[in-house]
Structure 1
């Protein structure tokens, strides 16, 4: 705009100067004739030298006046151009700001009526755009709030199969963060295979689809009610798909527990009760007269009654832990002291199989935990390692830590666990080797109790296992926070 103004000013001055120069030249040429006519009419006798002298001075005066006029005209022209072009420049700059998205910009141009009307129109447009932008921001904030707090996992995938929208529930559910998800192809996120197949189905059919899928997340089986639908824009243009997942794991788990509880408890109780009943009937039928047989049968009845008592105690313990409001007494606790006590309690069973402990503790770690409950956790894990390991092997205990957790690893050289069974070992009554577990006196409730106790400590447990080589249980308990 400044260069345009300068060019206009230069052109105006050149044209004005040219006209004045031509006018001055014409006047300079005509002036001697005016002098001669004037001298003739007034009878004043002027010779040629005098006429030339007067003409020369007249030319000087004319030139001076022309220069003065040119300067005055230039000033007037600059003023007029500035008053005409500056408002236009101000309005143009405001329009540029609006195109950049700065809807707070306003024009302050003054001038002719047309300029004022143009300014008012631009300002009215800016106010309308600002209101629209404010409304859009409010609606976007409401939408984001709804998406983040809807309680279900949501992910929107565009036409190119890249993630455009994802909420916190989805990220937390699959241990992802927004940086590694937004703008990435959904097939590169490492989602469970069943979920990827579901999304592919919605992409291929472009029709709403609902299905219950079973996925494994962090070695835990989860059940999701998944709903997928195509996203259609204006004029029927297909924009992508949206996937909403409701976690129904707790409902499925409760339903399964309700179905299996009676069957499992009946099955677990049947063996000891049958043994006790059978041997007692045999004794009543006259076998008590044989002292050797009497003692043998009474020993079996005693063992089975102990097994029955253990099962009932574990059921009561699990029921207590699962009650709403159950909590543990969290206080600064030494993991080293917990492991020492756990080792003392399990050493007799270790000696029976001629096994040994390998303790790897670089330094002690203090966590927030319940001392007795932590002993219960690690005693159970160590006892399992001993039970499922052959004789003359080693159980390794390690204490580590990271930024958030104190970590205890219990590693054995036992039979190992199949990958497809790892997610189920924390279920009630689930046994990897059912026959061996019963022979060892296990109730199938130990790991279920362990998992609930760890969760009560706000911790977590991971399982690494290889069939034929052994299993490593990693327990994470939150560290004591430094003041």
Structure 2
């Protein structure tokens, strides 16, 4: 730009010089004639005046030339420099000068196109960033040297990392499970896509992830690094294990009474029926096992019903104090058999619930507490209001539950003490039914326990409006 202005200014100065030289030649030709009739002072004054007028006229013409030719080019050049810096909002003045208007217009069209392209690119980058940040799977990208170039929020949450743990670090420097580190090394070494399911410890719990890794290739198949995507499948593994345990437990629970019934029936048929005392004893056992089998099938059907999608309870205003007292009378015989005292600390509370289902809930909780309590202990049931909810507590002085087992307490067929549950006739489905029924009432149930001290089940239910 400066060189253009210098060249233009030089051209103007040369033009002025030529003009002055011509003027001087003309004056030189006229000077002798004029000097004969005028004195010398007047002649030199006239020459000075002519020179000043010529300079002013030349300056006006030069300034006009610069305005017309140099300024539009300078403005276009400044606009081009701004575009080169990335300022795509810059625009050139579109002068009416025929020589530069097309150049200015073209620069402005280029600027508008670059601005539109940049806006589209920024929008696409924002979409991609939002997608990566909010995807359910954890993602990490690693460059050729092993440096971390990109991680999303899910990865940081899954492996309990902070931004300062990742910035400018290599993947070997961050706290990730050893199993995942080995998988990353495998993808690095082979430069081929791979998939695997990894299991590792996170605190006291086991975690399972489904991980996929692949090389990142640029133009001309240039290897740029690798990308690792992992998905937490711990819950899926847990559900799969529950399904396996459910099938195994159902098979076992059904096989035990069926085997007993079949065995004693065969013994009776082989001649034991001839001894009345033996036959009566065997028939009592058969009846007991039949009742147990019937109870198991009944609980299985009940659990299947409450687990179905769309299951609802017939909720009406229910006097929870009267309901608990009625359930206490129903388990009175069992309490007397084990010499267990039932303490009721009940406030008048009206809940929004299904009376029949709530009887079932309280019955299962009290039977469970009796089954796991020793003789000469007490079971306390409390009922009160708190924070706009009804709270029911069932506290026993039984064997208690290990902290590691509390999370599995509401699983189907899960038992803390299998021998004691089986001897008491339990099916292992009662607490699972309780959990589903309470959730159907839009409530929740929690467990607190200490081994050798006892267990407390706490239920929260909505109050009647």
Deviation at 1:317, TM superposition (A): 2.0
Q: Which residue of 2 aligns with 1:86?
A: 75
1:399–1:408 contact (8 Å) kept in structure 2: yes
Q: Which residue of 1 aligns with 2:430?
A: 446
Once the two structures are superposed, residues 365-421 of structure 1 have per-residue CA deviations (whole angstroms, 9 ceiling, x without a partner) of 966x54432442243224323432344445364667789x97755444432212343
Are residues 318 and 112 of structure 1, via their aligned partners in 2, closer, same or farther at CA, if it must alter by over 3 Å? same
Q: Which residue of 1 aligns with 2:343?
A: 356
Equivalent of 2:254 in 265, 269, 274: 265
1:381 and 2:365 correspond: yes
Q: State the alpha-carbon separation in 2 of the partners of residues 332 and 11 from structure 1.
A: 97
Gapped runs of 5+ residues in structure 2? 167-175
1:321–1:452 contact (8 Å) kept in structure 2: yes
1:237 and 2:224 correspond: yes
Q: State the alpha-carbon separation in 1 of the partners of residues 344 and 52 from structure 2.
A: 117
Q: Which residue of 1 aligns with 2:454?
A: 470
Deviation at 1:447, TM superposition (A): 1.5
1:77 and 2:66 correspond: yes
Equivalent of 1:66 in 55, 74, 78: 55
Q: Which residue of 2 aligns with 1:287?
A: 277
Deviation at 1:261, TM superposition (A): 1.8
Are residues 480 and 163 of structure 1, via their aligned partners in 2, closer, same or farther at CA, if it must alter by over 3 Å? farther
Deviation at 1:52, TM superposition (A): 0.7
Counting matched residue pairs gives 431
| SS of structure 2 residue aligned to 1:316 | helix
Q: State the alpha-carbon separation in 2 of the partners of residues 203 and 402 from structure 1.
A: 50
1:389–1:413 contact (8 Å) kept in structure 2: yes
TM-score computed with the length of structure 1 as normaliser: 0.64
Q: State the alpha-carbon separation in 2 of the partners of residues 216 and 287 from structure 1.
A: 60
Q: State the alpha-carbon separation in 2 of the partners of residues 379 and 154 from structure 1.
A: 43
Q: Which residue of 1 aligns with 2:301?
A: 316
Are residues 216 and 85 of structure 1, via their aligned partners in 2, closer, same or farther at CA, if it must alter by over 3 Å? closer
Deviation at 1:327, TM superposition (A): 0.8
| SS of structure 2 residue aligned to 1:237 | strand
Deviation at 1:257, TM superposition (A): 3.1
Deviation at 1:345, TM superposition (A): 0.7
Q: Which residue of 1 aligns with 2:418?
A: 434
Deviation at 1:199, TM superposition (A): 2.4
Deviation at 1:423, TM superposition (A): 3.7
Equivalent of 2:328 in 346, 363, 366: 346
Q: State the alpha-carbon separation in 2 of the partners of residues 393 and 248 from structure 1.
A: 39
Are residues 423 and 201 of structure 1, via their aligned partners in 2, closer, same or farther at CA, if it must alter by over 3 Å? farther
Q: State the alpha-carbon separation in 2 of the partners of residues 271 and 217 from structure 1.
A: 44
Q: Which residue of 1 aligns with 2:180?
A: 199
TM-score computed with the length of structure 2 as normaliser: 0.66
Q: State the alpha-carbon separation in 1 of the partners of residues 294 and 263 from structure 2.
A: 15
Are residues 241 and 461 of structure 1, via their aligned partners in 2, closer, same or farther at CA, if it must alter by over 3 Å? farther
Gapped runs of 5+ residues in structure 1? 187-194
| SS of structure 1 residue aligned to 2:413 | coil
Q: State the alpha-carbon separation in 1 of the partners of residues 201 and 431 from structure 2.
A: 21
Q: State the alpha-carbon separation in 1 of the partners of residues 198 and 443 from structure 2.
A: 29
Deviation at 1:446, TM superposition (A): 0.6
